[in-house]
Amino acid sequence: MASTTLQGLPASPGIAVGRCWTVDRRRLRTPRRKVTEQEVETELDRLDVAIDLSVQQLDGVRAKFQASDGAEHLAIIDVHRAMLRDPSLVDEVRRLVRVERVNVEWAVKRAVRKIKGAFDADDEFFRERRSDVDYVGERIVKNLMGQGSDAAEMPPPGSIVVARDLSPADTALFFHDRRVAALVTDAGGVTSHTAIVARALEIPAVVGTGKASTSAERGDWLVVDGSHGLVVLNPSAAERAEYEAARVRQMEREAELTRLKDLPAETVDGVRLRMVGNIEFGEEVPGLLSHGGEGVGLYRTEFLFMGRSELPTEEDHYRDYRALLDAMGGRPVTVRTFDLGGDKLPSGQKDHSENPALGLRAVRYCLRHPDLFYAQLRAAVRAAAHGNLRIMFPMVSGVAEVRAAKWALAEAFEQVVAQGLPARMPPVGVMVELPSAAVVADRIAREVDFLSIGTNDLIQYAIGVDRQNMDVAYLYRPLHLAVLRMLKSVAEAARAAGISVSMCGEMAGEPLYTLVLLGLGLDELSMNGPSIPEVKRVIRGASAREGRELLDRILDLNTADDIEREVRAEMARRFPGLLEGGARVGPVSG
């Protein structure tokens, strides 16, 4: 049989070759009937029993993992456990049974639909939250129907699990003891929980394939290339051997890179950079530390809105930041205030403006919603009293917004002090991700303790390319001369003001650019944990002087193509093998 290749989304890097293990996760058919007045209480009792059972089942999954290593990612299961008792779900189900006299299975289905309606379906972030509500509703309904057991057959070790979709509990179960070699789903995006769990456990995964679960059968050979989002169905023996060899090469390379973990990111001429991580969830911390992360350079706190129907409270933030600071064991943690707005909004809210990316986003949104902003700021100054927390404001357009945000922080600090709670004013930084901020970075630098360049947005706004629009992806060029000039002037502005400058966009984690970034004189690079060793290897094998020379050369060129050709040639010469697979930084979604 000839092989076929499916293109999905690269959710977790790495290569796997193994036999397919399909998992049947078809939707349930929910029974619907009217109940009499006398039956109402019985129905409500059934609901309580089903919820208790569901909680016990999730506890069971959790307990299995606590006994083993790698239990960190189970926070997602806790979110589901909390959702099982969330009043917005339970009260609505009770209301439907009492008022509309429908059976409890149907009431759960209706309540789930209503909650999901509050999440914006056009946004990947909220689409994933909708599937959380689905998982929870489905578990309750299965228990009501006596089908809730998790005693699913376990895949044999080394299998590649293929499913339409998987709940985090399923994912966690299958990955127990790392018996699964890879994961493929039809649904899901790169921020789906399945993808996050797979990344946290470093298991290759491809999501969003559309039809893998109906195309592959149990026992078929499969190849999964999680770095490129490819799934090869029924590979030939030669293809299997080729991928197997690539897998072995990759593992050898990783083992070699891991040896760099505890060595400093220092150039041969003695310039030391700090290698830190970008994270969305606390459970990414072990992976970050295992790759040698020296801190968190960007904590995307808006992900705290995930899986909730209500806004997180000051206490929620506080507990979250403290847990993160503890997990990082005294290393610095840069908390970015919410980058909400545009298409990332709390549930139930929607931005109808024509250009959400140019609308009420990030610090603008926060300044317009002081309740939400101050709750976060108070939590941050409280947590700062207990650890090495830094705070950073996203999307500032100039000095006025920096001052407004700092003013809010100072007020939040006063409020906490007035309450008699321990507080510390943390170092304050801003993201330079708007061209306006880049151009006036010299003035902004006088107002803050550090700058962090967000190239994902800076490139989008500087070149006028929507970072999620594949039609204009060819214009999304980190090495555009305009971008390089901005990076240079921001770095110089920080140096002149005597403050540190970091880069936290995806560009920081792409080794192709490392020599150029050395030339800029950045102090810190913030990236996904797994990118750290390779970037560090380049830093340790290069000198800052070479970086400056390369930068000078490319600043004399005109087009992104010419510049990229020059950089590639230099990197290929200096670091043979580095560019296998090509540069990864294309348009990225935020």
Residues tagged active-site: 193, 504
Q: Least distance (Å) from ligand PEP to the CB of residue 300?
A: 5
* Inter-residue contact 433 to 454 (CB < 8 Å): yes
Question: Is residue 124 helix, strand or coil?
Answer: helix
Chosen from Mg ion, ligand PEP, none, partner binding at 502 (C-beta under 5 to 8 Å by type): none
- The residues pairing with 526 across neighbouring beta strands, listed in sequence order, are 276
Stretch that binds ligand PEP, among 29-37, 74-82, 83-91, 452-460 (CB under 6 A): 452-460
Binding residue (CB under 6 A) for ligand PEP from 297, 312, 505, 547: 505
Binding to ligand PEP by CB under 6 A, coded x per residue (else -) over 134-173, reads: ----------------------------------------
Q: What gap in Å lies between CA 52 and CA 143, rounded to an integer?
A: 10
How does 107-127 read in b/e, with b if 16+ C-beta sit within 10 Å? bbbbbbeebbebbbeebbbbb
Beta strand 230-233 with 450-453 is: unpaired
Contacts (CB under 6 A) with ligand PEP, residues 427-446: 433
560/482 Cα distance (integer angstroms): 9
DSSP 338: P
Q: Does 456 bind ligand PEP (CB under 6 A)?
A: yes
**Helix 40-66 crosses helix 87-100 at what angle (to 10 degrees)?**
160
Among 192, 194, 455, 531, binds ligand PEP (CB under 6 A): 455
Pairing of strands 333-336, 389-393: parallel
The dihedral built from the CA positions of residue 122, 124, 129 and 130, taken in this order, carries a sign that is positive
If one asks whether residue 334 binds ligand PEP (CB under 6 A), the answer comes out as: no
Name which position in 351, 457, 510, 570 contacts Mg ion (CB under 5 A).
Answer: 457
How far, in Å, CA of 265 to CA of 526, rounded?
13
Contact between 477 and ligand PEP per CB under 6 A: no
Closest contact distance (angstroms) between CB of 590 and ligand PEP is 4
The CA-based dihedral angle spanning residues 441, 444, 445, 450, taken in that order and rounded to the nearest 10 degrees? -100
Nearer to Mg ion by C-beta: 166 or 362?
362
Query: What is the DSSP track for 403-439?
Result: HHHHHHHHHHHHHHHHTT-------EEEEE-SHHHHH
By CB under 6 A, tell whether 504 contacts ligand PEP: yes
Position 509 contacts ligand PEP (CB under 6 A): no
Q: Could you tell me which stretch among 138-146, 217-225, 251-259, 454-462 binds ligand PEP (CB under 6 A)?
A: 454-462
Q: What percent of the chain is helix, strand and coil (3-state, nearest 5)?
A: 50, 15, 35
Applying CB under 6 A, among 127, 300, 364, 480 the residue interacting with ligand PEP is: 300
504 binds, among ligand PEP, Mg ion, none (CB under 5 to 8 A by kind): ligand PEP
Among 43, 128, 294, 339, interactor with ligand PEP by CB under 6 A: 339
By CB under 6 A, tell whether 454 contacts ligand PEP: yes
18 binds ligand PEP (CB under 6 A): no
Q: How far apart are CA 302 and CA 48, in angstroms?
A: 32
Find, among 472, 403, 476, 485, the residue nearest to 438 by Cα: 485
Amino acid identity at 336:
R
Q: Is residue 286 within the footprint of ligand PEP (CB under 6 A)?
A: no
Q: Which stretch binds ligand PEP (CB under 6 A): 159-167, 181-189, 202-210, 448-456?
A: 448-456
Judged by CB, which is closer to Mg ion: 81, or 336? 336
Q: How many CB atoms lie within 10 A of CB 69?
A: 10
CA distance 72 to 463: 40
Q: Which stretch binds ligand PEP (CB under 6 A): 398-406, 449-457, 563-571, 577-585?
A: 449-457
Stretch near Mg ion under the rule CB under 5 A, chosen from 12-20, 52-60, 372-380, 447-455: 447-455
CA 139 to CA 309: how far, in whole Å?
Answer: 18
Using the rule CB under 6 A, is 547 a contact of ligand PEP? no
Binding part of the chain for Mg ion, among 2-10, 129-137, 454-462, 476-484 by CB under 5 A, reads 454-462
Nearer to ligand PEP, 300 or 390 (CB): 300
For the bound state, the minimum distance from the C-beta of residue 438 to ligand PEP, rounded and expressed in Å, comes to 12
Cβ atoms of 415 and 425 closer than 8 Å: no
Counting Cα atoms < 13 Å in the Cβ hemisphere of 167 gives 24
Q: Which of 309, 312, 313, 375 is nearest to 348 (CA)?
A: 309
* CB closer to ligand PEP out of 438 and 542: 438
Nearer to ligand PEP (CB atom), residue 339 or residue 510: 339
CB of 494 to ligand PEP, least distance (A): 16
Quick check: 502 binds ligand PEP (CB under 6 A)?
no
Closest CA to 235 of 44, 393, 15: 15
**Is residue 123 near ligand PEP by the rule CB under 6 A?**
no
In sign, the C-alpha dihedral spanning 554, 557, 559, 565 is negative
Closer to Mg ion by Cβ: residue 138 or 457: 457
**Residue nearer to ligand PEP on the CB measure, 298 or 366:** 298
Which partner in ligand PEP, Mg ion, none is near 167 (CB below 5 to 8 A by kind)?
none
Establish if 344 lies at the interface with ligand PEP (CB under 6 A): no
Min dist CB 271 to ligand PEP, Å, is: 23
Work out whether 343 is an interface residue with Mg ion (CB under 5 A).
no
List residues binding Mg ion (CB under 5 A): 433, 454, 457
List residues binding ligand PEP (CB under 6 A): 298, 300, 339, 433, 454-457, 504-505, 590
